Structure 1
Amino acid sequence: MTRNRLYLLLAFGLLAGYGWIIWFSSHSTLNHTYPACLFKSVTGIACPSCGSTRSVVLVSQGNITDAILLNPIGPFMAVIMLIAPFWLFYDTIFKKDSLYKSYRTSENIIKTKWVAITLIILLLLNWLWNIQKGL
């Protein structure tokens, strides 16, 4: 992936993510009825990322422990959503490519067989945990 394509995708992803969080926060009610995820609507079971939006909202409210317990993917997403816009802005304004270089390094690390297998196992365990919790 080229630098410009990555930065464009990241910018759109961040806008969509922030838009979703804002919409979600404004449409959540006090009785905690949340919009169901598409995967769960179709299959009837939680997906690996079910609860991650609520987890990000909990992080924004300072409830880190509750966020991790709900879905550990959420705090990870929250960190990315906090850091990425500044990093993207920095690289764009100063014509740098530090974010792109970090992406390429991360991509190469994830391609390492034992790292990929570990991440897949962690994702599957999270999925099983989401199903067990009844998300």
Structure 2
Amino acid sequence: MTIERNKIYTILFLACLGGFTWILVSANHLASTDASVCIVKNVTGLPCPSCGSTRSVLSLFHGDLAGAFYWNPLGYIITITMIAAPLWILLDIIRKQDSLHRFYCKVECFMRQKSVFIPSILLVAANWVWNIMKDL
């Protein structure tokens, strides 16, 4: 079951807009405090698999590739998505195409395969363990 084109474009655009807003707000917040905004970490004391993603994206925007990887490798995926998705949506609207939607559908089908899904979950779990070991 795939999401219809307009719905996925709206969700992606709003997610990217929220992401850029979060990055702008966090850039000042993270520089001035060590407090965590992660609900999982604040409740359990343990970082979640995505802890460090904001600092990773900020590191990438500052050109610090090694720092970005240290904070959270997921930051690379988030950054690429935040930059590419709005541009791709805009191009599809201008060209009256649905190439992003077709790509999304292909990725969704690809990710549903056990041979892809299980290793992906294991990589996220390994990232989580790494975040815990780093005491993020």
TM-score greater than 0.5 by the shorter chain: yes
**In the alignment, what sits opposite 1:3?**
5
Distance apart, 1:69 and its partner CA: 1.7
**In the alignment, what sits opposite 1:22?**
24
- The two structures have a TM-score, normalised by structure 1, of 0.95
Alpha-carbon distance in structure 2 between the residues aligned to 1:97 and 1:24: 33
Q: Could you list the per-position Cα deviations for residues 64-104 of structure 1 after superposition, in whole angstroms to 9, with x for gaps in the alignment? A: 11101221001111111111111011011221100000000
- The two structures have a TM-score, normalised by structure 2, of 0.94
Q: RMSD between aligned alpha carbons?
A: 1.1
Distance apart, 1:28 and its partner CA: 2.6
Corresponding position: 1:50 with 2:61: no
Amino acid at match of 1:121: L
SS at match of 1:48: coil
Alpha-carbon distance in structure 2 between the residues aligned to 1:48 and 1:124: 7
Amino acid at match of 1:99: L
Amino acid at match of 1:27: H
Gapped runs of 5+ residues in structure 1? Answer: none
Amino acid at match of 1:70: W
Alpha-carbon distance in structure 1 between the residues aligned to 2:58 and 2:93: 28
Q: Give the fraction of aligned pairs with identical amino acids, expressed as a percent.
A: 40
Number of equivalenced pairs? 134
Q: Structure 2 matches for 1:85-100, cutoff 5 A?
A: 85-100=86-101
For the 8 Å contact 2:36–2:42, the answer to whether it is kept is no
Alpha-carbon distance in structure 2 between the residues aligned to 1:35 and 1:124: 21
Distance apart, 1:35 and its partner CA: 3.5
Gapped runs of 5+ residues in structure 2? Answer: none
SS at match of 1:28: helix
Distance apart, 1:34 and its partner CA: 4.4
**In the alignment, what sits opposite 2:125?**
124
